[in-house]
Each structure stands twice: as structure tokens, then as C-alpha cells.
Amino acid sequence: MHSMNVTGRALLGVAACALMAGDPAFAQAAGLEEVTVTAQRRVENQQDVPVSTSVLNTESLTTMTASGDDTLLALSGKVPNLYVESTTGRIFPRFYIRGLGNVDFYLGASQPVSIIQDDIVMEHVVLKSTPAFDVGAVEVFRGPQGSLFGRNTTAGIIKFDSIRPSQNFEARGSASYGAYNSVDIDFGAGGPLVDGKLALRVSGLYQKRDHYIDNTYTGPSADGTPTGQKDAVGGFNERDLRVQLLATPTDNLSMLTVMHGRWYDGPASVFRRGALKIGSHDVSSQHWNQARWDEAMNNPQGYNTYGISENISYDFGGITLTSITGYEATEGQSRGDTDGGAAADYNNTGYGESMGRVRALSQWTQEVRLASAADAQLKWQVGGMYFDQHDITEFYQRAFFLTPPANNPNNWVRLRDANTSWALFGQVSYEVLPHLTLTGGARVTNDRKDTLLLKPAANVAGVSGFPATADPHPVLEDTTPSWDVSALYELSPDLSVYARVATGFRGPTIQGRSAVFNSPFTFANSETILSWEAGLKSQFSNTLRFNMSAFTYTVDHIQLNGNDSNGNGVFFNANKAEAYGMEAQLDWLPIENLSLTAGLSLLHTEIKDANAYAQMGSFLGVLAATPLNSYFTKGSGTGTTYFAKIDGNPLPNAPEYNLNFSGRYDIPVGEGKVFVATDWNLQGYTNFVLYRTREFNSNGNFEGGLKLGYSTDAWEVALYGRNITNNKNLKGVIENYDAAILNEPPTYGVTLSGKI
């Protein structure tokens, strides 16, 4: 670890000398490549779509994850107004677009950012964590996407499209080795099985890292956790496989079958209790490779996920019928020391551990869509969607895990969750005047949720304390329309302007986790959004592409997550939230062999509810942070709780600004080129909770990466470094214990990639 600082400074020096360079996809002698998106369920040039979009290609993704980083968490900040975080390890990423997201860590929580992989919506939070590999493109669509993509897209969509089978043999792969024995292998290969009729592609991802975080606590443990361990946690094993079979029995018919599996084990997030000192959010004194905990068996986490889908398309000649059927399943668990430290360090107070388990989950989706030709003056599409998800989820609390006779084997609950939804939708796009295209879409969606308490928590004698007056089987249902209207005007072949107004909704939510504390379920009704957006899209001389958008939105009855006076998680609706901001993206080839990319987002969000309060973190009746909002107290002594006024506060995890920059410079040598490439990210003020304090936020998080190597048209070998400036950034907090979650440590290594 001591050599990392030296290595990081050396790599940073080389980066500065190389003029800050990034994405090899832009370093083409012929100029900028065309970028295509599917924001309107068709393949179109990004410049012709009246939606704020960003695209990351395979090379960008593999560069960001060369050290084995989570392929989804690594997306954070890489394009404007996209933020990703997790306080529950790899199996629970939480996504935010334009400040909208959900900080709830309940396994049944919904999110306003939809994740779509190979045309299948990944609704459950564990399904959303399926990593991306052998990807053709990662597309980010900002703003409500309710007309074509449905509910729970009030913030936007992140869409992953795998490289599909081809009638030509193709293979690509990348492999890296680095610090902590980190390994990352991402590959895909395939070709024809029956010439012109059947093609196959097999893809895989393998990531591993050795444990590197020492547990420096050496005292006793109440649940038998081994203490005083060197290299106790931090490592992981990620194994993923995908098989695609493309059948084209006739020129008009294609049938794509996709099967995938994931087998993951690693640690839940490592919290560091007391890392935040009163009055400060500085975490620079923390050690990457040290923490202290006394329970939870080193935070084990493991999930297995499987899925199969069938995408059938038939061209009737100008009209195409598409059917997409998907099935997803997962099971696993995650256990953690939720106080983030050793209670012996705090006078043997503040013990905490828990485990969430998805015992079984199944998700069925069916979509049918009829669409006109993409090159027609009048373009249209109509369709329907059905969604069905059922799961059995369990939550275990600390007493369950204690060493007998102190344990309580009844300290857990089992819930059955069901979510069904159907929708009908349509869209029309028409060039009403030369260079002026109007587009309108509408959708009506029914969303139904119900949760059944199958097993309540009980004391050692088996007596349940769940309130007799509480409903153990709540049902919520809502039918809501969504629509959007946009106009795109081509001022010249190089410059277009657009405007868009759109609505969307996130369905009602039942919060069931607190039943393990014998608290009743809490609920939130649907939230709806009205968004206004305008922007320009330009590309000049095939060397400069600049896109910019400005937006404002209002979310009515926004769903927020907080705590009640007993510290139990509750879900509730605030009156509304308002926001405005902008995004700008630049791709530039200023001189031969030099490519630059940059992105900037500015964002202001504000909760608007004069009667909304959130419980602040406290420990033994004492506030754990310095409040910046007015507040009131309830109770007295160690039972005192504090509630802060949140009216006017920013939404959690909504950075006020984000700047990303990358570039690449090539020096031709022989039949290839020596290159230096780098990428950087700077993040502005970000509040992590609903209330404002001096401690629970970050401001100025900064990270950079570097690659030095040699490449030809067929292969590339390089040295890489991630977080090369050794910056410790605060990424999340556990409020009551002033605990911090840190970013990934500096890593370095070597990577080899190739294609045929």
C-alpha cells in the first residue's frame, strides 16, 4: 500500500504531460463516429432524438472497471447528471438521474430510474445489480420515459444492450491483473452455426479480488465472529455467463433467445463507525485497509441470478411486430455489522447487525409492439406490457445471530411480496414541415402491490408483538396515464434544437422491513412528475460534437424514506419536489491523434413541504451531527429523538454539479500506436440524507484514472491506474453511528485486450 502513493504521483505526472487524454472510440482518423440510441424504441442517430441522452461504449466501460470495480457503480459521474451509490455492497446499487432516486435499502424498494438489460426491465433491486459485460453500448436517457418504457421511470433509464450474435465470426475480450490480486476478464465470441439461419454468441465476466481490509478489533464477539483478522474482508468473486442464439429462418423473421446466469459472493459494504467527527465530513484520516467490527461474520453476501428471454420480430413489409418475453429469478442474502464498529470502543453500547434474504424471486414480463418503418415520414408504434413479480423475502435482526443462550431464534420475519402491472401505449412522430418533426406518446398503466406478513417476529417464547390493529396484508393499486410531446427542428445539417414536455409516475410502495421490529407497514402513494426540457444538438466538420439541454421538473407526492420516533424505517409522501438544471457534453478531435470528451451538469433540487420532518441520527439521546435545519425533540433522556424540518432541502444524492473529462493521445509507432489516456471526475456538494448537517455530505469529491499502452487494430496492452491521486471520498453514511462508506482505494495493474 505504501507504494501506491508513489505510483499514483508518477502516473498523475505522466497524465499531465499527455494533455489529459480518454476514450479510444473517438480517436479515429475519419472523425467522430456516429452514436446511435434507442430512446424511442428504434435505432436512431443520437442527434435526431428529442431526448437528453448519453452513451458509453465497450471500451469506456472496460477502462473504468479494469481493476475489478463494480460495472454499475463505476458509471457514477461518467456522464452528466448520473449518480450511483450503494450502502449494501454490489447487490444493491441505487441510481439517480437529475437528482431523483431512492435512498431506501429495503429489498422491496422501487426506484425511479429503470434498468433495462437486453430489452428486459430489471425491477427488483437485486436484479438491477446484474453487471454489464460484453456490452455494445450503455445508454442513459434523462427525464421521464413513461410513454414508451412505463412506470418507475420518472427520473430516466439506463439501458444495456449486449453485443448480439452475427453471421460473421467475431470475438473480443479484455483481461487485467492488478493490486490485491484483482482480476477482471470480460469476453464474448460467436458466429454462424447454420449459415444465414442460426448464430450463437457466448459471453462471460469473471472478477475477483483478495481480501485486503484488516479487522483490527481483537476483543470478544457476542455472535462468534472471529476478531483480530488480517485481510478479513474486501475481496469478492463475480462470475457471469450469457448465451445468445439468433435464429433467422426467413428474411422477415428473427428470434433471439438470451440465457444468463450470475453467481456472486463477496462482502456487504464496510462501514467505519466514528469516522465522521462532529463538525466535519473529512474522512482523510481513515485507512483503506483497516476497520473495526465485532459482529456479523465479516459481512458475507451472496446471490445467484438466472434469466431467459425471447425476442421475436416479424417484418410484414413496412410494419414490424415484436414480442419480448422475459423471466428472471434470484435468491441470496446479505448480512452486515450495521453499527459499523466494535461496541467495546463505545462503552459496549450500540450493537447492531442484520441480514436481508431473498429466499425466492420470480419476474415475468411480456411486451408486444407493432411499429411502422423507421424511415417513414409518419412513424408510429402501439403496444402492450404485462409484468408479474413474486418474492419471499426475510429480515433477521441481531438477537437471531447471538451465541446461545443469549440468542432469540424467532427474531426474524418472512414477507411475501407481489407486484403486477399492465400497460397500453402508443407513439406517433411526423415531419409536419421540412426539418420540423413533432412526436407525441401516451400510456396508461395499472400497478398493483400487496405484501403479506407470513411470519412475524416473536420473543424467545414465540409470542409475536406485531400490533393487533395493524394490517398484515396491505394492498395498493393505481391506474395512471403518462404522456410526452416533443418537437425537433433542424436549423442546418449541423445544428438542431428541440423541446420536450413529459410526465411519468412511480407506483405505490409498501415498506415492510420494519415488521422485524414489530412495527406496522408504512405506505407511499404514487408520485407523478411533470418535466420540461429544451436543448440543442450539434456536430461540425466531423470533429466536434456538442449537445446541451436545460430542464425543470416538479414531482408531486414525492416518495421519501425516513425513520419514525422508534428509529424504524418509514416511507411517506411529501407534498412535492422541484428542480432545475442543465447538461452539456462535448466530443472533440482538436488535432490529429488527440481526442477529448467532457461533460458538465448543474443541478438544483428542493423539497417543498412546510409540514415535512425527518428524524435525525442520534445515539443514546444525543444528536450524532450538527443540524443546520430547525428541529423539535420528542421524549427525554436516552429516549430523545430529533426531527428536522426538511422544507427547502436538496434531495439526497443529488450533486449540485458534476464535471467529467477524458481524453486520449496517440503516437504512431510501427503498425500501431503508443497512447496515453485518462479520465477525471469532480463532484459538487452532495447531501446524503433528507436533513442538512455539517457532517452528512460531501463536497469536491475528485477521482482520476490513467492508461499507458500500445495498441493496434487487433489488440492492446496497457498499464492502468484508478484513483491515482489517492483521494478518500465519502460516499455514504450510517447516521446514528457517524459511520462512513468510502470510495474504492487506489489500484494499478496491467490490462490486455483484443478482437478478431
Where along the chain do its domains lie? Answer: 2-755
Domain at 2-755: CATH code? 2.40.170.20
At 64, is the secondary structure helix, strand, or coil? Answer: helix
Q: Is 122 left (phi over 0), alpha (psi -120 to 50) or beta?
A: beta
Cα–Cα nearest to 416, from 448, 390, 388, 397: 390
Cα-Cα end-to-end distance for the chain: 37
**562: part of which helix (H) or strand (E)?**
strand 559-563
Q: What is the pLDDT of residue 4?
A: 38
- Provide φ and ψ at 360, rounded to 5°: -165, 135
Whether the Cβ atoms of residue 745 and residue 288 lie closer than 8 Å to each other: yes
Separation of alpha carbons 627 and 605, rounded Å: 19
Separation of alpha carbons 679 and 691, rounded Å: 33
At 317, is the secondary structure helix, strand, or coil? Answer: coil
DSSP state of 90: G
- Provide φ and ψ at 11, rounded to 5°: -65, -40
Cα–Cα nearest to 443, from 476, 388, 484: 484
Separation of alpha carbons 39 and 59, rounded Å: 22
Q: What is the pLDDT of residue 30?
A: 61
Whether the Cβ atoms of residue 115 and residue 54 lie closer than 8 Å to each other: no
The β-bridge relationship of strands 436-455 and 412-433 is antiparallel
Q: Is the dihedral of CA 281, 284, 287, 288 positive or negative?
A: positive
At 106, is the secondary structure helix, strand, or coil? Answer: coil
The β-bridge relationship of strands 156-162 and 113-117 is parallel
- Provide φ and ψ at 60, rounded to 5°: -65, -45
**94: part of which helix (H) or strand (E)?**
strand 94-97
At 127, is the secondary structure helix, strand, or coil? Answer: helix
Of the CA atoms within 13 Å of residue 328, those in its CB half-sphere come to 25
Whether the Cβ atoms of residue 524 and residue 449 lie closer than 8 Å to each other: no
Separation of alpha carbons 136 and 122, rounded Å: 18
Q: Which residues contact 53 (CB under 8 A, 6 or more apart)?
A: 37, 39, 46, 139, 140, 141, 142
Separation of alpha carbons 595 and 582, rounded Å: 24
Place of cell 498523475: 12
Bond from prior residue into 220 cis (ω within 30 degrees of 0): no
Q: How many CB atoms lie within 10 A of CB 700?
A: 11
Alpha helices in 577-648 (DSSP H): none
Q: Is the dihedral of CA 691, 695, 696, 700 positive or negative?
A: positive
DSSP state of 744: P
Place of cell 441520527: 617
Question: DSSP letters along 507-528, please?
Answer: --EEE-GGGGGT---EEEPPEE
At 394, is the secondary structure helix, strand, or coil? Answer: strand
The pTM of the full predicted model, rounded to 2 decimals, is 0.94
Whether the Cβ atoms of residue 719 and residue 749 lie closer than 8 Å to each other: yes
Q: What is the pLDDT of residue 657?
A: 98
Whether the Cβ atoms of residue 217 and residue 246 lie closer than 8 Å to each other: no
At 126, is the secondary structure helix, strand, or coil? Answer: helix
Place of cell 399492465: 422
Q: Which of the residues in the chain have pLDDT under 70?
A: 1-30, 564-568
Q: Is the dihedral of CA 283, 285, 290, 291 positive or negative?
A: negative
Q: Grid coordinates standing for 117? A: 438489460
